[in-house]
Structure 1
Amino acid sequence: MPTDPTTLLTVLDLIGVFVFGLSGGTLAVRRRLDIFGVMVLSLAAALAGGVFRDLLIGAVPPASLHDDRYLLAALAAGLAAFFLHPQINRLGKPVMVLDAAGLGLFAVAGCGKALAYGLTPLPAALLGVLTACGGGVMRDLLVAEVPRVLREEIYAMAALLGTLVVIAGHALGLPPVPVAVAGALAVFALRVVSVLRGWSAPRAPGS
């Protein structure tokens, strides 16, 4: 794992692109879409959150449009989902597991990039959550599902936890690699445990 902050953010971004691309492609296969539909869902899930983030912080053109590795990672994920979906489905709940992994990676990478561009902690945290949730929202809307971030499950709150870990590590001057790993693992663990235990975000009293 690289220790240079810029390289680390790129690596986390690319891994997140591939993992979220797998989640989009796997969902498309489950919905019996053809190979074009699988690739579209993979690209949407993998790249939408990062594009939103880059546009908002002024990192234009977005990384996915000037670095071919992003598109190649997303396309590779789509092809992997198309041809290897039986193996991926052995995870049990493949979309949820992949989604949780991508959520953690993108929350950490998104918040870290926002901090690197000089944003203060609060907007950096919001951009981290947007990066993490944006791709999943696009993926779910394209198959006419209510986005997971709007359901009762812990989703955006898990992403927010990861951004808080990154912000705390940044403020304390801790090494970026352990902080990034801790943040991503915290998001993954909270998301998976919340689904397995049926935890949900608070609702309005009496609703």
Structure 2
Amino acid sequence: MRLEVGIIALVEEVFGITAERRTHFDWLCNKPRPKDFGEHYDAVMALYTELEGDWQGTITKTDGYLIPDAYFPEPYHFIFEFDELQHFTQYREQTFRFYPANIPLAYEPQKYCQFCREHHVAALAKGPERFRRRTADFPYVNGRAAQRAFFDTFRDWLPPRHGLNPTVRLAEFEVSSILNGQLTGDAAKVYMERLLCERLKISSIAEKIKR
């Protein structure tokens, strides 16, 4: 079972609601478009240039949607992303230098940058060769890692612009005590609720439901 499946199931248990999987949004696609990014289009294209994206490869590749790990409907109304080791590369750290100040986030970018600095070597080494392959839009060694980082910005920047609450992210390292079995059952649920309340800036899940 993929790690994210177990984590999402625990989040569902905490919220008391079933997440929607394989949900797509018309504005969350695999190419940067002015109509989706609006005032932030120049910023996302500056990031694209920094990551050495190939525009011809981008415009000629097949159109597609970026599918979130999960979407939690009302009263939460946010995308949920569980970030495993392979997300924490130097490319991901680069993205944060381009984040506009007015984009709300439901996680701590400073902590994510620290994770990138600590784990970038292992992140690039993880998994099969396809994790490091060249892509049409980033046609160089480790291009897939750069593409992953680029698309993570889409999942952060676009939802609030299109009426969703900020994307909630949890890093693998933040739930290691659950993944390694140190915390199970009610203890794991209590720990997860604390993390989620920190993200949502509420004192309890019950408080969120009452709003």
Do the structures match in fold with TM over 0.5?
no
TM-score, reference length from structure 1: 0.34
Report which of the two has the higher share of strand. Answer: 2
Computing the radius of gyration over CA atoms, which structure comes out larger, 1 or 2?
2
Report which of the two has the higher share of helix. Answer: 1
